[in-house]
Amino acid sequence: MTNLDRLRRDDPHLGLGLGWNLDPDWPSQLLSALRDAISDHDEARLVGFAKLGVELCREDHVAMASAIAQLLLVTLNPEVNGPIRERAATPSDVVKAVSAQESQPEPLPVSVDLLAGTIADAIGMIEQAADLNWRAGHGFDALTDSTSAGSAYQAAGSAWLWLERADQSARASAAAVERFREAGDSRRETEALLTYAEAAIELGELSRAEGFVSRVGELVPDIRSTHLNAVWRRTKARIEIELGRDEDAHLLLMQALRGSRKSGDRELEVVVLHDLAILAESAKGPKHAARWWCKALARAEESGLTARELDIARGASWNATEVDGLDEAIAILERVTERHSESRPRPVYERAHADLGALLLARATRQLSQSGRSSADPSFEQGDEALKTSLGEFVTDGDTEWAGRAARNLKRSWRLQGKQCEGTDWLRSAGFGNRESPAANGLLIEAAMLGIGCPEQAEWSESWLRSQPAQLHGEGFAMELARESYTLDSRDLLQDTDSSLKLMRLACDVAEADAYWGYGDLVNDLGVRLTSANLSDEAEAAFSRAIDIAEQQENRALKSLALANLAELHSRQSETDIARQLFVQSAELAEAVGDLDQAIASWAGTTRIDLKDNPSRAAETTRRIIDLASRGTSPEARATALSAQASTAYVRGSYAKAFTHWHRAASLSSRNRGEYLAFALDALARRQDRERFERELEHILPGMGRDTETIDFCNRVLRAAYAWASAGETDAAGLTVAASAALAGATLTSTQPSTDAQSLFIRSMAALHAGELVVNELDDGGSAVAEAVDRHVRELIGDEPAEALRWILRWANSDSDIDADPDPTVLN
Amino acid sequence: MDLEQAGALLGAAFDEARQTDLLIEDEVIFGRDQDHLRVFISSKMDGSLDTERKATHQVVSALEGHRAWWWEGDAPAGALHSEHICIGYAKSSDGLVLLIGGAISPIIYAEYQAARDGGAQRYVFIRDDSTLPDDVSEFIQAERTGEVVTRNFQNVAELRTHLHQSLIASLIRASRREILDRRNRQASKRGGRRS
């Protein structure tokens, strides 16, 4: 009852006796006095009780405030029936019941609106709090009560700010500032100005925010409030953060922190600690920020600020992913969501819960990559469940952004688990489609994107996506489809060539129908996807279409790209003359638009062709490539240039130089690292430098993961096996094949079985087969290489894993449909 | 033995293997709180590059997870051009697109410098028919490094293709880590007080 001390000790106007607030049975006294006022139909006293309810609520007596509101509501409206009239209702039911009433510009209904708004704020129904306070503000305006209107608008502005609805917050805060100024209440005007400044910062209106803060700077000295002084400094700090002036911001926040402690404002202290954590993370990095996160989280927990605690826990878990790892990050969110699983304040609880789900999925993905499918399952299931629950709540609340995030993470999870059908079905049948909200519609888009990869749902998915009027989604709808297509063709665990292709076709159709300005770029991207799917004729048609569009638009950049892609297609079909001609055209156009990266890539295409038939021309082009690379290009382009140099050296027999260049290229490249490392090893094999070869291999193997780079390495390194074998080094050839097989086997078992030719699974199978073909070819009736492979596999990974690899090879051989990589020996 | 068991055994042999598929993991982690990547559009504001500015805004905005900041749409209505605010926004952006069609004013240099200091990805697009003063040519030459995308364009179609390719290549996935820093700046908004 300590907080009641702040309330008036007697209130004869309300019928409360002296010292009522010190009586242990004060609730009964209060309710009895209220009933008397109701019986007397004394509106002025009832309004007084509503105001007392607001005070009680602010002192944490939410249940009593709710009881007052309930009694006043049923008194006000005789037509209110059902549970709200029959028995004690929960605060949330009272808030809902008041919200459902029509607004009336009379003293009592307006006071009840304000009381319900205060209760809503206290129990985390922030949206209702904003609406009820806004309604109360209008009511007080009609009653010409500026101060009360200002208070209500101020509460609405704060609530909308919390809900990240800055425009509504600005509107309410502006009204509050005006009312308090009319009433000559400079203290409350200051508070409202600070909220208004926060909203302006959110809206990116920093000049306006600076104006408000500067006005507060004029008012604060006369008000002499440590609390407001601290809030003022905190708001100024926010502007400094937005402008990138971190040191000034830090200084202001430290002053605000001291002020908050001096004034005993725990919430402000927690808010400032939170700001300091965020600032430290941004300015000095996660390690430095970790202690601020700990302080902020601990203080929020001690102070019982549930919503703050949940919000800070999310930030602290972000920090932990960087500093302590995923397990600790998950533990933070598990602790906080478990602790508040009863009250579940919106929207922060569900956001923390959704974050927990995302982190569990991230851990499952990591386990999938590291240890294979079986170990990942529990985290996937836990993550799925957490996200499904949160998703339902987000849709109910109409929180489109968070519903979208949760749905996209679920979509990734289902794809990784091969559960496209189950996932699509869940999204479609969970009832979201029946709810007319942008959030629900967004989920259907996600369902349709996912369903493209499910045979039973593909037809619905495609027709549903086609039926979407592009203008509904803005001109980015084609790009949204294209983006999904890129995701499914990134040659990682999500690889789904067929779906990627379908989505890109859809993107092109939507773009063409809508005369989208990016149509030409998307058609070019479609050609790339068709090439991946080995649909050469269609790919050629797409590139030709892109070239036509580029010519119509006089777009050299697009033409250069499409020409290079078309050249690559012809090169694969061994139509080298046409390919070379197209590469040259592409390179010249790329140079003309200053795209040196593309110019290098296209010129490198010509050297690849010339190396076989015209080495001197290849050498000349390589010099041009080196010159271009020296003019400032991306690391990837410099790697391509180094690889061209390496290839030229390799053809000349300068293997040491070739090794050095490929080795350097590997260190620069993120796209072709595996390939360059394999070529570097091949150069060492050609030099018959066994010692260096083994040293390099020993260094490379632990750094390889379960990804497309590894499979490129597994395929390309087999060339070195031939080099060793031709030099009579059977044992070294065996070591090479062993390394390739062990890596390919590990990658194979980390992914879902798939029939997609571009999937890691099938490409790993192909690499395993390629290794076996090399052994069969090299042994030529004997078994020396096979024996060496077996021995080296055991040495590399141990007996038990070696046995597992043998089982996998036997299993892979039982599938006769898998071919080896068609051309594991292409240079560059 | 089945494939699961064999995979577990073989996987155990590679326990020390480098963490892979960071991209998907990052997509999931960063999907938690993906504030939009802010791309600042910088150029002379004398009307000579208005079409190009609009096209840039259009391309950036069409990419999921990207938001263009441009004076025309994002500056407070009625406010005069405020140098320190533009520079502040440039510094705290994830990317900066600089359109060049001739001379560059000191404020544009300052915006570019701020973006560089803030670690933003930078894209410099130069209109072909521009007459470039010496200082601008020297600036472009100096910035033509592997870290900065520099391209020429003769029309809006070329500019769009450059933007499409550059943003997709360098921002969509590669910048996920940078979101963390940016997110922190944005996230301070959640500190807003409710009472």
Q: What does the alpha-carbon distance between residue A617 and residue A606 come to, in Å, rounded to a whole number?
A: 9
Q: Residue A309 pLDDT > 90, yes or no?
A: yes
Q: What does the alpha-carbon distance between residue A273 and residue A312 come to, in Å, rounded to a whole number?
A: 10
Chosen for mutation from A234, A271, A293 (greatest number of chain B CBs closer than 10 Å) is A271
Q: Among A595-604, A730-739, B84-93, which stretch is predicted with the lowest mean pLDDT?
A: B84-93
Grade residue A475 by pLDDT with cuts at 50, 70 and 90: low
Cross-chain Cβ contact A483/B34 below 8 Å = no
More reliable by pLDDT, A398 or A162: A162
Report yes or no on whether pTM surpasses 0.90. Answer: no
Neighbours of A244 (CB within 10 A): 22
Q: What does the alpha-carbon distance between residue A35 and residue A13 come to, in Å, rounded to a whole number?
A: 14
Mean pLDDT of chain A, nearest integer: 87
Q: Among A391-405, A787-801, B15-29, which stretch is predicted with the lowest mean pLDDT?
A: B15-29
pLDDT at A125: 84
Asked if A759 has any chain B CB less than 8 Å from its own CB, the reply is no
Amino acid at B120: A
Q: How many CA atoms lie within 13 A of A446 on its CB side?
A: 27
Q: Residue B193 pLDDT > 50, yes or no?
A: no
Determine the distance in angstroms separating the CA of A158 from the nearest CA of chain B, rounded to an integer: 5
Grade residue A825 by pLDDT with cuts at 50, 70 and 90: very low
Average pLDDT over residues A195-213: 90
pLDDT at A654: 95
Cross-chain Cβ contact A520/B157 below 8 Å = yes
Instruction: From chain B, pick out residues whose CB is under 8 angstroms from the CB of A703.
Output: 17-18
Q: Among A316-320, A485-489, A695-699, which stretch is predicted with the lowest mean pLDDT?
A: A485-489
To the nearest whole percent, how much of chain A has pLDDT over 90?
50
Average pLDDT over residues B93-110: 91
- Using CB atoms, which residue from A205, A244, A286 is nearest to B76? A205
What pLDDT, in 10s, does the model give residues A226-262? 888 999 999 999 998 888 788 899 999 999 999 999 8
* Contact residues, A window 617-676, toward B, CB-based 8 Å cutoff: 631-635, 637-638
What pLDDT, in 10s, does the model give residues A105-137? 899 999 999 999 999 988 878 889 999 999 999
Grade residue A779 by pLDDT with cuts at 50, 70 and 90: confident
Q: Provide the number of CB pairs (under 8 Å) joining chain A to chain B.
A: 313
Q: Residue A1 pLDDT > 60, yes or no?
A: no
Q: What does the alpha-carbon distance between residue A634 and residue A373 come to, in Å, rounded to a whole number?
A: 36
- Sign of the C-alpha dihedral, residues A179, A118, A64, A271? negative
Q: Residue B7 pLDDT > 50, yes or no?
A: yes
Grade residue B73 by pLDDT with cuts at 50, 70 and 90: low
Determine the distance in angstroms separating the CA of A557 from the nearest CA of chain B, rounded to an integer: 6
Q: Residue A551 pLDDT > 50, yes or no?
A: yes
**Cα A26–Cα A28–Cα A29 angle in degrees, nearest 5:** 60
Q: Residue B17 pLDDT > 50, yes or no?
A: no
Nearest to A386 by CA among A441, A341, A443: A341
Cross-chain Cβ contact B18/A634 below 8 Å = no
pLDDT at B174: 46
In this structure, chain B runs to a length of 195
Average pLDDT over residues A460-478: 76
Instruction: From chain B, pick out residues whose CB is under 8 angstroms from the CB of A158.
Output: 192-195
Asked if A328 has any chain B CB less than 8 Å from its own CB, the reply is no
pLDDT at A81: 75
Cross-chain Cβ contact B61/A703 below 8 Å = no
Look-up of token digits 């990974």: A797
Tell me how many helices (H) and strands (E) chain A has: 41, 0
Cross-chain Cβ contact B184/A267 below 8 Å = no
Cross-chain Cβ contact A238/B160 below 8 Å = no
More reliable by pLDDT, A503 or B3: A503
Average pLDDT over residues A749-760: 76
What pLDDT, in 10s, does the model give residues A345-367? 777 899 999 999 988 888 888 77
**Kind and range of the H or E run holding A146:** helix A146-162
Nearest to A250 by CA among B188, B33, B112: B188
Q: Among A277-291, A495-509, A534-548, A660-674, which stretch is predicted with the lowest mean pLDDT?
A: A277-291
Average pLDDT over residues A171-176: 96
pLDDT at A244: 78
Average pLDDT over residues A282-302: 90
Determine the distance in angstroms separating the CA of A587 from the nearest CA of chain B, rounded to an integer: 14
pLDDT at A470: 59
pLDDT at B78: 41
Q: What does the alpha-carbon distance between residue B177 and residue B195 come to, in Å, rounded to a whole number?
A: 34
**In whole angstroms, how far apart are CA A588 and each of A146, A323, A592, A715?**
72, 48, 6, 33
Greatest pairwise CA separation for chain B in angstroms:
74
Average pLDDT over residues A307-332: 90
Q: Residue B182 pLDDT > 60, yes or no?
A: no
pLDDT at B176: 42
For chain B, the 3-state helix, strand and coil shares in percent, each to the nearest 5, are 50, 15, 35
More reliable by pLDDT, B16 or A274: A274
What pLDDT, in 10s, does the model give residues A434-459? 556 677 778 888 999 999 999 999 99
Phi and psi, residue B150, nearest 5°:
-125, 130
More reliable by pLDDT, A284 or A720: A720
Q: What does the alpha-carbon distance between residue A113 and residue A97 come to, in Å, rounded to a whole number?
A: 11
Cross-chain Cβ contact B34/A354 below 8 Å = no
Closest chain A residue by Cα to residue B6: A804
Look-up of token digits 């209440």: A185
Cross-chain Cβ contact B157/A554 below 8 Å = yes
- SS3 state at B125: strand
Which stretches within A417-518 are classed as H helix?
Answer: 420-429, 438-451, 458-467, 477-487, 497-513
Determine the distance in angstroms separating the CA of B19 from the nearest CA of chain A, rounded to an integer: 6
pLDDT at A99: 92
Grade residue B69 by pLDDT with cuts at 50, 70 and 90: confident
Q: At A499, list the tokens.
A: 């779906």
Grade residue A501 by pLDDT with cuts at 50, 70 and 90: very high
Q: How far apart are the first and last CA of chain B?
A: 63
List residues bridging with A496 in a β-sheet: none
Instruction: From chain B, pick out residues whose CB is under 8 angstroms from the CB of A517.
Output: 55, 58, 157, 160
Nearest to A183 by CA among A225, A128, A141: A141
Q: Residue B84 pLDDT > 70, yes or no?
A: no
- Using CB atoms, which residue from A279, A405, A807 is nearest to B1? A807
**In whole angstroms, how far apart are CA B7 and each of A286, A703, A708, A753?**
36, 19, 18, 12
Q: What does the alpha-carbon distance between residue A244 and residue A249 come to, in Å, rounded to a whole number?
A: 9
Grade residue A191 by pLDDT with cuts at 50, 70 and 90: very high
